[in-house]
Amino acid sequence: MSHLTILLPFGLPPPELARDLLRELKLPAFATLMARAKKEHSRQEFDDFARALPHEMWLSSQFSLPSFAAVNAAPGQDAHNSPALACAAMRALGLSADEGVWFMLHPAHIHIARDHLVLTDIRQIGLSETDSRELFDAAAPLFAEVGRPLVYGSANTWFMRADDWQGLLTSTPDATCGHNIDIWMPQGDGAQAWRKLQNEVQMLWFAHPLNQRREMQGKQSVNSLWLWGGAAATAPTVGQYEVFNLPDGFVGLGQYAKAAHANASVAGIIAAKPGHGLLILDQLIQPALTGEWSSWLQELQTLENTCFAPVLQAMQQGLLDSLSLIITDSTHVLELATSRLSLKKFWLKPALTRLLP
């Protein structure tokens, strides 16, 4: 038996725009898969102020990811904290994470709104390795002074060790993006110390030559760091999923999977006939977070051709036995299940109405 689960973050349109957006879409394959899904489906609602987005919590909950400062929550699914991914992310980048408590850090841009500070989408920073190293080398002495080792991972991701911050609650950058950061700033053990250190980095970078060059080039300044993903070093437990195309920030989850593949094509996934496959389609996240709904429509239309049409055909031809669709927005998760048998319900016309609130 071959089963594929597809996670589609921000596939649910915003309620106030939903009907207008859906009128613009022509997705016959996706509409067929949705309309003929089994009636046993759920639409779960999450807190507006959760520290991780619904798709981030759902994805983390599928693996034996250790919880971190959890409050009455199952491992990997703590809405009070961001997923405990730092050590897994370090290992994915070839770094040692055998002991201690670690956090992820992203160079970021925070802009001033009318009466509050807002974190912009960290994907828009676009730091080169050379520029990131320049900022890292400038900031590292500040971390060394307070006994918080700073480790370089990649241009967009650094790591900090803080063994005594196991009670620190943090938020994912995507959950915070576009909002007043005061609500999503770290809280608990180490919060005050982090704010002090963050402020020192911000002051150091304010007049840094790199930011002056970036501003002259019309680029966003790199004026802060975003911290999240606190995790204590533990050995990963391998699960049953064969996972495809994990998004940035979550690639470390591959260590908790039966197998992990990057840049996998849908044709290749179908040909592999995974017994328990998980495909993440993250193309809609950025346009949804930045409100670029024309781009959202274009990306979804592309997914119709590159993913949903081939998957529908594979099910009709018996190459894929069953399918689960996990579709989210910023506060909801919609779960649908489709099988080869349910696809034979020809009297159910293709429709996208289940995407409506």
pTM, rounded to two decimals? 0.93
At 72 the pLDDT is 35
Domain-embedded: residue 332: yes
Does the structure show a pLDDT above 50 at 105?
A: yes
Q: Angle at which helices 209-216 and 129-145 pack, to 10 degrees? A: 150
Domain-embedded: residue 323: yes
Residues 140, 222 within the same domain: yes
Residues 81, 118 within the same domain: yes
- Whole-angstrom Cα distance, residue 67 to residue 83? 7
- Whole-angstrom Cα distance, residue 283 to residue 270? 20
DSSP 185: S
Residues 211, 75 within the same domain: yes
Instruction: Give the total number of structural domains in the chain.
Output: 2
Contact 74, 61 (CB under 8 A): yes
At 287 the pLDDT is 97
Q: Which of 197, 213, 232 is the last residue of a domain?
A: 232
- Whole-angstrom Cα distance, residue 326 to residue 118? 29
CATH number for the domain harbouring residue 25: 3.40.720.10
- Whole-angstrom Cα distance, residue 311 to residue 343? 12
At 41 the pLDDT is 60
- Whole-angstrom Cα distance, residue 342 to residue 357? 23
Does the structure show a pLDDT above 50 at 329?
A: yes
**Higher per-residue confidence, 337 vs 238:** 337
Domain-embedded: residue 213: yes
Residues 267-278 have a mean pLDDT of 96
Residues 84, 28 within the same domain: no
Predicted confidence band at 315 (pLDDT cuts at 50, 70, 90)?
Answer: very high
- Whole-angstrom Cα distance, residue 104 to residue 159? 5
Mean of per-residue pLDDT scores for the chain: 92
Residues 170, 260 within the same domain: no
DSSP H or E run through 294: helix 293-303
pLDDT per residue over 2-43, tens digit each? Answer: 999 999 999 999 999 999 999 999 999 999 999 999 865 677
Percentage above 70 pLDDT, the chain: 96
Q: Which of 232, 259, 291 is the last residue of a domain?
A: 232
- The domain in which residue 193 lies consists of 65-232
Query: What is the three-class DSSP state of 137?
Result: helix
Percentage above 90 pLDDT, the chain: 82
Residues 319, 204 within the same domain: no
Residues 209, 246 within the same domain: no
Q: Which of 210, 232, 254 is the last residue of a domain?
A: 232
DSSP 180: B
Paired tokens of 266: 């849908």
At 115 the pLDDT is 77
- Whole-angstrom Cα distance, residue 120 to residue 136? 20
Residues 339-349 have a mean pLDDT of 91
Residues 43, 89 within the same domain: no
pLDDT per residue over 55-94, tens digit each? Answer: 999 999 999 887 665 433 444 445 689 999 999 999 999 9
At 77 the pLDDT is 44
- Residue ranges of alpha helices (H) inside 48-120 are 54-61, 86-92
At 257 the pLDDT is 94
Domain-embedded: residue 94: yes
**Higher per-residue confidence, 173 vs 1:** 173
Does the structure show a pLDDT above 90 at 285?
A: yes
**Higher per-residue confidence, 167 vs 201:** 201
What are phi and psi for residue 180, nearest 5 degrees?
Answer: -65, 115
**Residues 6 or more apart from 209 whose CB is under 8 A from it?**
none
**Pairing mode of beta strands 3-8, 42-45:** unpaired
Residues 105, 224 within the same domain: yes
Burial 66-96 (b: 16+ CB within 10 A, else e): bbbbbeeeebbbbbbbbbbbbbbbbbbbeee
| Residue type present at position 280 | I
DSSP H or E run through 169: none
pLDDT per residue over 175-195, tens digit each? Answer: 999 889 998 999 998 999 999
Q: Please name every residue paired with 117 in a beta bridge, in sequence order, or none if there are none.
A: 112
Domain-embedded: residue 109: yes
At 78 the pLDDT is 52
Residues 89, 204 within the same domain: yes
Does the structure show a pLDDT above 90 at 47?
A: no
Q: Please name every residue paired with 180 in a beta bridge, in sequence order, or none if there are none.
A: 118
- Whole-angstrom Cα distance, residue 137 to residue 102? 19
pLDDT per residue over 199-257, tens digit each? Answer: 999 999 998 999 999 989 989 999 999 999 999 998 888 888 999 999 989 999 999 99
At 75 the pLDDT is 41
Residues 259-274 have a mean pLDDT of 95
The DSSP code sequence of 65-126 is PPPSS-SS--TT--TTS--S-HHHHHHHTT---SSSEEEEEEEE-EEE-SSSEEEPPGGG--
206 vs 125, 139, 177, 212, 214, CA distance in Å? 16, 12, 21, 9, 12
